[in-house]
């Protein structure tokens, strides 16, 4: 493969819902580009894209796949992305390093929830979008309905470049209104006949051609003038106008393909080669220091690593984009994130698991290398004198969590090594060894996401694991003030132990006034604040510790021990053993012994006094509540809302968004355990949701009673 320059490289993500035919389209593109000699199929499990065992097992794309096609003296780098929301991380990574999105639609279903979810990311990253209506040979294909749905969503920005003469099993021809030609295929597809537009199609073709000319002219003032003067534009002029419209996202062209029969794939590649902007015409990446980097081959060398995989017989394969400069085999680079030096021993242009060695790559190109010592996904490698660092990929929050443990406890360490390795391959898996819950929690994008992980660990690594319901990280707090004292006294020959602590606890809120006077059981307690410590707790909320000791009743050197004892009890609240938070404690009196008092005595006295007071201060359990946003087709709205209300949700709002309803709700984490599975079941997979931590809120009384009984039972068992 020759060394392509920055102005000859185009980087394109292939997006679309599950079942839209992205992998089949990628296969046809590879075939048409001469990269492969025969097309594989998803059913046969022999496609270039889906080559991992888990993908063959499920028949779904799990990982994004990088491949390139040389076409018309251009290098087209593609990243074929998984369609399922559960594997959205691949699409997010791809969109950050490519310049254009090819959005594939299934002509049977048109615009799906997955389409809109992925489109939002193209919007977020300001990427041009080309829609490709696929599977036009299906009996239920509805091209006109798909165009109508697209126009409902995106209005006049939708501009068809082609339309099918027939759909269903008779599909074999399209009219191209950019070239004003008809393309017709034999049953085996491939190279079409190029014909004049038939008379019966001329009116429709001219109407769409005129709309395309006007849309192209609108993106360039000079073209608009020319259009007004001449009433039309040349094919080259239209290409220039379409390119300008793509870059500004003021135009979304629509193509037709039947990827399974290799129809119109060549024409799509031709359009991509001619019209899609090269990487040097797109917005510049920005470093963590805010420096805009221009992709030029004579600039400083800088590579950004956006993906890693672990492959049999090879080990780690690291995929990168050349952000600036050029990279050659044997170059020595410095890792800007980890400080380590790396040598690039080999460079590859890839097509799935096939790697073709190249000697050099320049700014804008995408490639792979192997056997790096200390490079992780998200790292930047720089040449001498360059200090760029990039951190532009932000992944969505997880929405499905399970506790995971090996079937054999002795395999715990091995399991963690595997999980951490796999997180490098898919960063949307979040792994946490929770000290609080005493569980390893793995969070992902959905039930299928975690099921895939389990399959890989058990089948690839031969390590049986099991998922269990994760514990909920409850918090404990108090609702009123209470007072307690505790004397710790121990005498068993020699020096004894003695410490006595009197304290008051009360709920803490931001900005509350300093304590002054309290009344308990008809007795007044006047407070004189000598010192205040405000501690931001690692688990959220605050602990405020006030020293109000007068007359030297407790020596100041024992106060840290009292606080230590209280903190130990805050880490294991008396109601459910959960962390306690938002408490103010006033130590106002106590006693000590000139010989027997020591730090351990006051630590124990403080802990027990706090525990007693906490239980009398109207203790309450708090639960994590999440903001949940559900996007659902209107005909499923009632069922989805009913299901949410059954999960103790509070509906906060609702609005319509072009054929879909958006529900906003606050839902306790406890009730979201299997929500992704339930939502998919209710809507046939046509809805999606996001969730983000909102706040801790009091649990209802009946729920608290159940939690207290459950905790008491575990304590009895122990």
Indicate the domain borders of the chain: 6-208+251-281, 302-382, 400-471, 476-618, 621-703
Q: For the packed helices 235-247 and 199-217, what is the interaxial angle rounded to 10 degrees?
A: 50
Phi, psi for 29 (deg, rounded to 5) = -65, -45
- Using alpha carbons, list the distances in angstroms from residue 528 to 511, 517, 547, 557, 589: 19, 9, 8, 19, 11
Q: Sign of torsion, CA 660 20 67 251?
A: negative
Q: What is the mean pLDDT of residues 627-632?
A: 92
Which tokens go with 7? 């102005």
User: Where do we find the tokens 């946003």?
Assistant: 629
Nearest in space to 347 (alpha carbons), one of 330, 364, 335, 324 = 330
Reduce the DSSP state of residue 522 to 3 states and report it: coil
Q: What is the mean pLDDT of residues 506-533?
A: 93
Separation between Cα atoms, residue 258 and residue 414, nearest integer Å: 46
Round the CA-based radius of gyration of the chain to a whole number and report it. 32
Domain 6-208+251-281 has CATH 3.40.50.300: yes
Which tokens go with 285? 């990446």
The answer to whether 587 touches 544, Cβ cutoff 8 Å, is no
Reduce the DSSP state of residue 203 to 3 states and report it: helix
pLDDT of 310 higher than 90 = no
pLDDT given at position 480: 95
pLDDT given at position 424: 86
- Using alpha carbons, list the distances in angstroms from residue 460 to 464, 486, 534: 11, 57, 50
pLDDT of 136 higher than 50 = yes
Q: What is the mean pLDDT of residues 385-405?
A: 91
DSSP letter assigned to residue 263: B
pLDDT of 671 higher than 50 = yes
Segment holding 356, helix H or strand E: strand 354-358
Dump pLDDT digits (tens) for 169-190: 999 999 999 999 999 999 888 8
pLDDT given at position 718: 47
Separation between Cα atoms, residue 75 and residue 305, nearest integer Å: 20
Mode of pairing for the β-strands spanning 430-434 and 439-444: antiparallel
Rounded to 10 degrees, the C-alpha dihedral 25/26/27/28 comes to 50
The answer to whether 652 touches 625, Cβ cutoff 8 Å, is no
pLDDT of 218 higher than 90 = no
The answer to whether 27 touches 48, Cβ cutoff 8 Å, is yes
Dump pLDDT digits (tens) for 319-340: 999 999 999 999 999 999 999 9
Nearest in space to 570 (alpha carbons), one of 536, 597, 600 = 536
DSSP letter assigned to residue 2: -
Which tokens go with 670? 């406890």
The answer to whether 628 touches 667, Cβ cutoff 8 Å, is yes
E strand residue ranges, 539-676: 542-547, 579-580, 583-591, 620-633, 650-657, 660-668
Q: Sign of torsion, CA 218 219 223 224?
A: positive
H-type helices in 139-220, by residue range? 143-154, 199-217
Q: With cut-offs at 50, 70 and 90, classify the pLDDT of residue 401.
A: very high
pLDDT given at position 684: 81
Q: How many CB atoms lie within 10 A of CB 511?
A: 4
Separation between Cα atoms, residue 618 and residue 641, nearest integer Å: 34
Separation between Cα atoms, residue 672 and residue 661, nearest integer Å: 20
H-type helices in 632-700, by residue range? 637-645, 675-683
Separation between Cα atoms, residue 479 and residue 460, nearest integer Å: 52
The answer to whether 68 touches 77, Cβ cutoff 8 Å, is yes
Nearest in space to 208 (alpha carbons), one of 179, 167, 236, 187 = 179
pLDDT of 677 higher than 90 = no
Question: What count of Cα atoms within 13 Å lies in the side-chain half-sphere of residue 688?
Answer: 18
pLDDT of 716 higher than 70 = no
Domain 476-618 has CATH 1.10.1840.10: no
CA distance from start to end of the chain = 67
Q: What is the mean pLDDT of residues 133-156?
A: 94
Q: What is the mean pLDDT of residues 241-263?
A: 94
Reduce the DSSP state of residue 416 to 3 states and report it: helix
Separation between Cα atoms, residue 371 and residue 394, nearest integer Å: 26
Separation between Cα atoms, residue 300 and residue 293, nearest integer Å: 10
Residues 6+ apart with CB under 8 A from 168: 137, 138, 139, 141
E strand residue ranges, 56-128: 65-71, 74-80, 100-106
Which tokens go with 627? 């903001």
Dump pLDDT digits (tens) for 473-495: 999 999 999 999 999 998 776 67
The answer to whether 640 touches 651, Cβ cutoff 8 Å, is no
Q: Among 2.40.50.100, 3.30.1330.60, 2.40.30.10, 1.10.1200.10, what is the CATH number of 302-382?
A: 2.40.30.10
Q: Which CATH architecture has domain 400-471?
A: 2-Layer Sandwich (3.30)
pLDDT of 135 higher than 90 = yes
Please give the residue that has the higher pLDDT: either 217 or 165.
165
pLDDT given at position 60: 76
Separation between Cα atoms, residue 497 and residue 561, nearest integer Å: 14
Reduce the DSSP state of residue 499 to 3 states and report it: strand
Dump pLDDT digits (tens) for 220-243: 778 888 777 777 788 888 888 999
Nearest in space to 102 (alpha carbons), one of 254, 322, 289, 288 = 254
Q: What is the mean pLDDT of residues 108-137?
A: 92
Nearest in space to 273 (alpha carbons), one of 65, 68, 105 = 68
Which tokens go with 451? 């099921």
- Using alpha carbons, list the distances in angstroms from residue 596 to 116, 489, 557, 562, 592: 71, 9, 14, 16, 8
Report the DSSP beta bridge partners of residue 195: 182
Q: Angle CA(175)–CA(176)–CA(182) in degrees, nearest 5?
A: 45
pLDDT of 717 higher than 60 = no
Q: Angle CA(81)–CA(85)–CA(88) in degrees, nearest 5?
A: 45
Which tokens go with 278? 């090269």
Mode of pairing for the β-strands spanning 181-184 and 173-176: antiparallel
Supply the mean pLDDT for the chain: 91
pLDDT given at position 40: 85
Domains 400-471 and 621-703 in one fold: yes
Q: What is the mean pLDDT of residues 553-581?
A: 92
Q: Among 3.30.70.240, 3.30.420.40, 3.30.1360.120, 1.10.10.10, what is the CATH number of 621-703?
A: 3.30.70.240
């Amino acid at each position: 493969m020759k060394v392509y320059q920055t102005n000859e490289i185009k980087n394109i993500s292939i997006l679309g819902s599950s079942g839209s035919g992205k992998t089949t389209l990628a296969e046809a593109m590879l075939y048409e580009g001469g990269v492969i000699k025969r097309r594989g199929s998803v059913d046969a499990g022999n496609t270039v894209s889906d080559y991992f065992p888990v993908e063959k097992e499920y028949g779904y794309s799990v990982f994004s796949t990088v491949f390139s096609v040389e076409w018309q003296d251009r290098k087209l780098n593609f990243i074929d992305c998984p369609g399922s929301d559960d594997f959205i991380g691949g699409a997010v990574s791809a969109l950050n390093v490519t310049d254009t999105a090819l959005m594939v639609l299934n002509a049977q279903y048109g615009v799906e929830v997955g389409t809109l979810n992925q489109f939002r990311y193209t919007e977020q990253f300001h990427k041009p979008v080309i829609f490709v209506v696929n599977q036009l040979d299906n009996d239920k294909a509805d091209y006109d309905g798909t165009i109508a749905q697209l126009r409902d969503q995106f209005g006049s920005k939708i501009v068809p470049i082609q339309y099918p003469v027939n759909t269903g099993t008779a599909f074999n021809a399209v009219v191209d209104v950019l070239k004003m030609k008809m393309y017709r295929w034999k049953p085996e597809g491939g190279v079409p006949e190029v014909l004049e537009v038939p008379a019966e199609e001329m009116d429709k073709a001219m109407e769409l051609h005129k709309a395309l000319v006007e849309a192209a002219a609108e993106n360039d003032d000079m073209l608009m003038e020319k259009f007004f003067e001449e009433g039309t534009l040349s094919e080259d002029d239209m290409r220039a106008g379409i390119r300008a419209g793509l870059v500004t996202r003021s135009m979304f062209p629509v193509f037709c393909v039947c990827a399974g029969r290799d129809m119109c794939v060549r024409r799509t590649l031709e359009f991509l080669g001619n019209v899609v902007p090269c990487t040097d015409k797109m917005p510049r990446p920005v470093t963590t220091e805010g420096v805009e980097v221009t992709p030029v081959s004579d600039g400083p060398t800088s590579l950004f690593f956006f993906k890693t995989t672990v492959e049999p017989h090879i080990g780690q394969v690291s995929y990168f984009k050349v952000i600036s400069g050029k990279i050659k085999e044997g170059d020595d680079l410095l890792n800007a994130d980890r400080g380590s030096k790396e040598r690039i021993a080999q460079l590859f242009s890839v097509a799935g698991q096939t790697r073709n060695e190249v000697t050099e790559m320049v700014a804008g190109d995408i490639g792979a290398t192997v056997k790096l010592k200390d490079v992780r996904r998200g790292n930047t490698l720089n040449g001498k004198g360059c200090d760029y660092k990039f951190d532009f990929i932000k992944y969505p929050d997880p929405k499905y969590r399970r506790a995971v443990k090996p079937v054999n406890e002795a395999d715990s360490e091995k399991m963690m090594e595997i999980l951490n390795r796999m997180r490098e391959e898919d960063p949307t898996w979040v792994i946490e060894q929770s000290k609080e819950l005493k569980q390893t929690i793995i969070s992902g994008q959905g039930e299928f996401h975690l099921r895939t992980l389990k399959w890989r660990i058990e089948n690839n690594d031969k390590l049986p694991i099991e998922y269990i319901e994760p514990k909920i990280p409850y918090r404990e707090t108090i609702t009123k003030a209470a007072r307690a004292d505790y004397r710790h006294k121990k005498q068993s020959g020699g020096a004894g132990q003695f410490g006595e602590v009197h304290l008051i606890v009360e709920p803490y809120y931001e900005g509350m006034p300093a304590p002054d006077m309290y009344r308990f059981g008809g007795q007044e307690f006047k407070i004189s604040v000598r010192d205040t410590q405000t501690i931001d707790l690692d688990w959220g909320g605050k602990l405020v510790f006030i020293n109000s000791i007068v007359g030297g009743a407790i020596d100041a050197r024992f106060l840290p021990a009292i606080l230590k004892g209280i903190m130990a009890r805050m880490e294991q609240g008396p109601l459910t053993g959960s962390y306690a938070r938002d408490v103010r404690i006033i130590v106002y009196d106590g006693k000590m012994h000139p010989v027997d008092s020591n730090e351990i005595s006051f630590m124990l006295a403080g802990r027990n006094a706090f525990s007693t007071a906490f239980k009398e201060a109207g203790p309450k359990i708090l639960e994590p509540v999440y903001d949940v946003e559900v996007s659902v087709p209107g005909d499923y709205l009632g069922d989805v809302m009913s299901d949410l209300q059954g999960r103790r949700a509070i509906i906060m709002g609702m609005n319509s968004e072009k054929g879909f309803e958006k529900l906003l709700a606050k839902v306790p984490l406890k009730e979201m355990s299997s929500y992704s599975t339930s939502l998919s079941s209710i809507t046939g997979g046509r809805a999606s949701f996001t969730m983000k931590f909102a706040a801790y809120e009091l649990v209802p009384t009946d729920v608290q009673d159940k939690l207290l009984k459950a905790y008491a039972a575990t304590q009895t068992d122990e």
